[in-house]
Structure 1
Amino acid sequence: MLQGKKIILGICGSIAAYKAAFLVRLLVKEGAEVQVVMTEAAQDFITPLTLATLSKRPVLSTFTADKGQGQWNNHVELGLWADLMLIAPASANTLAKFAQGICNDLLTAIYLSARCPVVLAPAMDLDMYAHPSTQANLQKLRIYGNIILEAEEGELASGLSGQGRMAEPENIVTNLKQHFQQALALEGKKVLLTAGPTQEAIDPVRYISNASSGKMGYALARSLLAQGAEVILISGPSHETIAHHHLTLIQVKSAQDMYEAAHEHFTNCDIAIFAAAVSDYTPKIKYSKKIKKKEEELQVELTKTIDIARTLSTQKSEKQFTVGFALETHDEEANAYKKIREKNFNMIVLNSLNDQGAGFGYDTNKVKVILANNQEPKSFPLKSKQEVARDIVKLITENYHG
Structure 2
Amino acid sequence: MSDHLVIVGGGLAGFTTAQELRKHGSDVAITIVDPEGLPYDRPPLSKEYFDGSMPAEKLAFRPESWYSENAVELVSERVTRLLPGEGKLELGNGQVLSASNTVLSLGGRARTLPIPGGDLPGLLELRTIADADKLRETLKPGMRFAIIGAGLIGAEVASTAVKMGAEVSLIDPVPVPLVPACGAILAGRLHDMHEAHGVKVHCAMTQQIELVGEEYRITLADGTIVVADAVLVAVGLVPNTELAQDAGITVDNGVIVDDEQRSSIPTVFAAGDVARHRLADGTLGRRHEHWESAMHAGQTVAAALAGQPLPVHGAGWMWSDRYGIHLEAVGDMVNGTEVLRHVDGLPAAAFRLDDEGHMIGAATIDGGNTVRAARRIIDRGIIVDPEKLADSSIDLKKLAR
What TM-score does the superposition give when structure 2 sets the normalisation length? 0.23
| Structure with greater contact order relative to length (CA < 8 Å, sep ≥ 6) | 2
Q: Give TM-score, length-normalised by structure 1.
A: 0.23
